[in-house]
Structure 1
Amino acid sequence: MRDVKLVATDLDGTFLRNDRTISKANLRALERLGERNIIRVAATGRNLKKVKDVLNTDIPFDYIVFSSGAGVYNWQKQEHIYSQNIVADSARKLLNFFVDQQLNFHAFYPVPDNHKHFYFRGAELCEEFERYFEFNKAHATELEEHTLPSGELCQFLVILQENEERFRNLKAAIEALCPEIRVIRASSPLTKGYIWLEIFHRSVSKGNGVLEICRRNGIHADQTLGVGNDYNDFDLLETTRHSFLTDNSPDKIKHRYPLVPSNEQDAFAVSVKPLLE
């Protein structure tokens, strides 16, 4: 690991504790990485507004890969440097498809305003959809079936009760409808028993966001380390040379990468410790 020049970490369930606070050990590890001129990246599914809800501007990250890679933000300069939205034609196809299927979904404005979104209540009552709506209703507008948005969108979020077959079938249908679209699976951070389908442009991923930062700083992918805790971190961990999962990851995926302690036990600090010895 002596050649590592960039470290990337997921936030929720990885860098942050369950109460969304930062441990002293993790904060000190960030500071020490900076002292060694190692670039520090938070790679998260949160939009930028939600990142700022949990990170003060003095937390010493260098970059934020937000909305699973739809945007990249220079944290030190507080400026956007990259974005990738879903083009208008594909956004329209997806809106029509989800409405026709009467699914519960959210459709998000293009980066950097993607904390704002449209919401649509489908045919099935979904408690998880309502919980998400309650958390985000200040920035939500109800979708009118007959006056659908016509421009680009950042992403879609479809919420399902956990059902592997339904998830696979829906994922295949969405990706067949728009070949430039990809579907990312995430476990609900709110309630067990639900699957979140996050739909982005195919080039959007945490890994590609990290590679964009590497390109801008003359860093090779072999000089990177990543740590995460869920399915939606695979894009990151498949990109970084040295990759780790936290012990609080779903049991089904723990075999994929070396394990570090849970997010409650300084997972980030433990994963980067060899860089600081």
Structure 2
Amino acid sequence: MSLKNIKLVATDLDGTFLKNDRSISFENLKALQLLGEKKILRVVATGRNLRKVMEVIPVEVPFDYIVYSSGAGIYNWTDKKHIYHKNINRDTSNLLIEYFRKKDYNFYAFDEAPENHRLWFHRGQQECEEFNLYFSFHNSFSEQLPTNSELKNGLCQFMLIIPEDEEKFASLKTEIEAQSDEIRVIRSSSPVTKGYIWVEVFQSDVSKGHGVSHLCNLLGVNQRETIGIGNDYNDLDLLYFTAFSFLTENAPPELKNKFTPVPSNENDAFAYAVKPLLQ
């Protein structure tokens, strides 16, 4: 299958499509517009919730769909309509809340998508600077988790924050996933502070790859007609799904050589990856 037959391009935002200051380069915006002229679908696949996407992507930027919260939801950017979401059910959500409390972890619990910009928090005894910093960015939508009552609805996701430690993450992933078959743990490098891992817990069918796959099925796009561009661990499912997959130069060293390399997000990685489509 040639690159000339591509019908859908999916890109991560932070560290990939966006520059470090969260701006959009002229070359990336131009490439996005030219893709549209060629009737190629332009998809965001991001760990950001939809409200956070709207903070960095102005309404006039010509994307077609947003796969947000690592695939927990899909939003039609043109029609302004929610078309899909997948959440952790109420029983499993309450089970995990109780488990995390007993372990005295610092954690966040996010409301069901598409309202998952709202969240609850639980502070453990061990202080975590990154946990507090994250809270400072989201405190207008945060409240302390009630101690004596169960949630009446499910959740989109949980997030724990740990210092960067491969063995600790692997152990924690195994520990958490053992609590329920309904969940999966995704790793993300903190975009806030270097040296921390975000341990994100989602419903087991949630990933950027699953989200883009679901969108392809809805739109009649064959997997062989897709491109993916990313830069981090939480992009792996996307990059394993898409037929042609590109990894930015600013990706973690251990991910290098797995996918076709492109320049960093500071040097128009997106525009570079899609350039063959525009010739």
Structure 1 counterpart of 2:48: 46
CA-CA distance at 1:161 after TM superposition? 1.3
Q: Distance in 1 between matches of 2:126 and 2:257?
A: 35
CA-CA distance at 1:148 after TM superposition? 3.5
Whether 1:20 aligns to 2:26 is no
The structure 1 residue matched to 2:246, chosen from 236, 244, 265, is 244
Structure 2 counterpart of 1:191: 193
Letter in 2 for 1:43: A
Structure 1 counterpart of 2:260: 258
1:195-210 aligned at under 5 Å gives the runs: 195-210=197-212
1:217-232 aligned at under 5 Å gives the runs: 217-232=219-234
1:124-139 aligned at under 5 Å gives the runs: 124-139=126-141
List runs of 5+ in structure 1 lacking aligned partners.
none
Q: Distance in 1 between matches of 2:80 and 2:165?
A: 40
Letter in 2 for 1:34: G
Identity of matched residues, %: 53
Q: Contact 1:115–1:139 (CA<8 Å) still a contact in 2?
A: yes
Deviations 1:74-116 (A, max 9, x none): 0000110000000111101110111111111100000111000
Q: CA RMSD in A?
A: 0.8
The structure 1 residue matched to 2:214, chosen from 198, 212, 215, is 212
Structure 2 counterpart of 1:111: 113
Q: Distance in 2 between matches of 1:19 and 1:31?
A: 22
Q: Distance in 2 between matches of 1:195 and 1:165?
A: 12
The structure 2 residue matched to 1:68, chosen from 57, 67, 70, is 70
TM-score normalised according to structure 2 size: 0.98
TM-score normalised according to structure 1 size: 0.99
Moved more, 262-271 or 170-179: 170-179
1:82-93 aligned at under 5 Å gives the runs: 82-93=84-95
Letter in 1 for 2:63: F
- Relative to structure 1, the CA distance from residue 169 to residue 239 in structure 2 (aligned partners, 3 Å threshold; closer, same or farther) is same
Letter in 1 for 2:147: E
Moved more, 140-149 or 155-164: 140-149
Letter in 2 for 1:82: Y
Q: Contact 1:23–1:266 (CA<8 Å) still a contact in 2?
A: yes
Letter in 2 for 1:172: T
CA-CA distance at 1:211 after TM superposition? 1.2
Letter in 1 for 2:169: F
Q: Contact 1:99–1:145 (CA<8 Å) still a contact in 2?
A: no
Matched pairs, number = 277
The structure 2 residue matched to 1:165, chosen from 164, 167, 172, is 167
Q: Contact 1:14–1:263 (CA<8 Å) still a contact in 2?
A: yes
CA-CA distance at 1:162 after TM superposition? 1.7
Q: Distance in 2 between matches of 1:123 and 1:209?
A: 36
Moved more, 160-169 or 235-244: 160-169
Q: Contact 1:92–1:150 (CA<8 Å) still a contact in 2?
A: no
CA-CA distance at 1:192 after TM superposition? 1.2
CA-CA distance at 1:145 after TM superposition? 2.3
Letter in 2 for 1:199: V
Paired residue secondary structure (2:42):
strand
List runs of 5+ in structure 2 lacking aligned partners.
none
Q: Distance in 2 between matches of 1:241 and 1:106?
A: 34
Letter in 1 for 2:13: L
Q: Distance in 1 between matches of 2:68 and 2:22?
A: 17
